[in-house]
């Protein structure tokens, strides 16, 4: 009796290999600012306050097979701050806060990216506000959705480290820690 399995095995292996779903590298290189968002929350006199930055530009060079080679940057129009009321927005434009007339742009530029597994990454980079630069680390979760990469991240910004909320605002009326969240949307390439 002839054994047919040895002759059949290479064909079966080729069939399984060629028809099995394959993971492939995905590149994300364009940021869609209309679908992206940068927001923040803080406490003021015991109440939680929410706000956004309405205008920013981003660049992204992210290959899922080579995350250590990734690069990201954001330029935020500081005058585009919206803290939910015209009084708050007017106050935040003053020199004690963001002073966008003197410092119109805040920037983040990544310096390295670490793969944490399961589509989670640690972006380390330089955040510059009011000409003060500090290194920050941001944990980011990549959610691929129908040909689009959604990069969700958050970190805590200590406003004292950047001279934000100086003078009469230096006390604890406004929390020192500001929670920054972002959602950066980029199509696959």
**Would you state the pLDDT for residue 13?**
42
Mean pLDDT of the chain: 88
Q: Which are the contacts of 110, defined by CB distance < 8 A and separation ≥ 6?
A: 70, 71, 72, 73, 123, 124, 125
How far is 51 from 36, CA to CA, in rounded Å?
14
Mean pLDDT of 103-129: 98
- Residue 181, exposed/middle/buried by CB under 10 A (0-12, 13-18, 19+)? middle
Q: What is the pTM (predicted TM-score) of this model?
A: 0.84
Domain residue limits, the chain: 24-187
User: Is 11 or 103 the better-scoring residue by pLDDT?
Assistant: 103
**Which candidate, 91, 150, 94, places its Cα nearest to that of 119?**
150
Instruction: Decide which of 3.30.2230.10, 3.40.50.2300, 2.60.40.650, 2.40.128.110 is the CATH code for 24-187.
Output: 2.40.128.110
**Would you state the pLDDT for residue 6?**
53
Judged by average pLDDT, the poorest of 5-14, 53-62, 79-88, 114-123 is 5-14
**With bands split at pLDDT 50, 70 and 90, how would you rate the model's confidence at 3?**
low
Query: What are the tens digits of pLDDT across the range 40-80?
Result: 999 888 889 999 999 999 999 999 999 999 999 999 999 99
Share of the chain above pLDDT 70, in %: 86
Under a CB-based contact definition with an 8 Å cutoff, are residues 115 and 70 in contact? no
Q: By three-state DSSP, how is residue 20 classified?
A: coil
């Amino acid at each position: 009796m002839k054994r047919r399995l040895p002759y059949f095995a290479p064909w079966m292996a080729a069939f399984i290999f060629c028809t099995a779903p394959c993971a492939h590298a995905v590149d994300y290189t364009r940021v869609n600012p209309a679908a992206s968002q940068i927001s923040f929350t803080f406490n003021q006199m015991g109440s939680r306050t929410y706000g956004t930055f309405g205008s920013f530009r981003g660049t992204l060079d992210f290959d899922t097979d080579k995350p250590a080679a990734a690069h990201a940057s954001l330029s935020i129009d500081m005058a585009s701050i919206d803290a939910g009321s015209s009084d708050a927005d007017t106050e935040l434009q003053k020199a004690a806060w963001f002073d966008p007339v003197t410092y119109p742009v805040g920037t983040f530029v990544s310096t390295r990216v670490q793969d944490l597994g399961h589509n989670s990454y640690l972006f380390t980079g330089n955040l510059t506000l009011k000409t003060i630069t500090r290194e920050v680390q941001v944990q980011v979760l990549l959610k691929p959705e129908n040909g689009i990469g959604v990069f969700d991240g958050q970190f805590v910004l200590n406003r004292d480290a950047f001279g934000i909320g100086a003078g009469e605002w230096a006390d604890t009326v406004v929390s020192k820690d500001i929670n920054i969240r972002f959602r950066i949307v980029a199509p696959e390439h």
